[in-house]
Structure 1
Amino acid sequence: MKGILGFISFTFIFGGLQGIVHEAFGKWIPLMGFMKHLYVDGYEIYISIALIILGIAVGTAVQKAPKEQ
């Protein structure tokens, strides 16, 4: 379970960074192009920041979770 949540955390953080890069430079990073479907016109920066915060929260929860036996 930790592996799946770690991947989700990475996806959220990378997707948020991708949105910020897109807003700054106008270019999508081809590695995770499917993330561009999450963004609503006019709210890209807010959604990007929310994705980064959500990714950090999930990553913190994964680290604090007890080890599986």
Structure 2
Amino acid sequence: MAEIKFEIQEEIGVISNSGKGWTKELNLVSWNNNAPKFDLRDWSSNHEKMGKGITLTNEDLKALKDLLNEMNL
């Protein structure tokens, strides 16, 4: 399996913390030297390990923001 290369270009914020030192974060990440995308996933404290997550383009993130704004939370 090919190695996945990533570079966190901007740490935007932590959404939650687990009891085991991992955090769910929104970051701007470049995957395999491609243009950076918004990325939501769990990370170990040193950002060496990651869980499954999703990547979002600017348009995806705006659409998600609009949907969240419409919700009655």
What's the TM-score, normalizing by structure 1? 0.31
Higher helix share: 1
Higher relative contact order (CA 8 A, sep 6+): 1
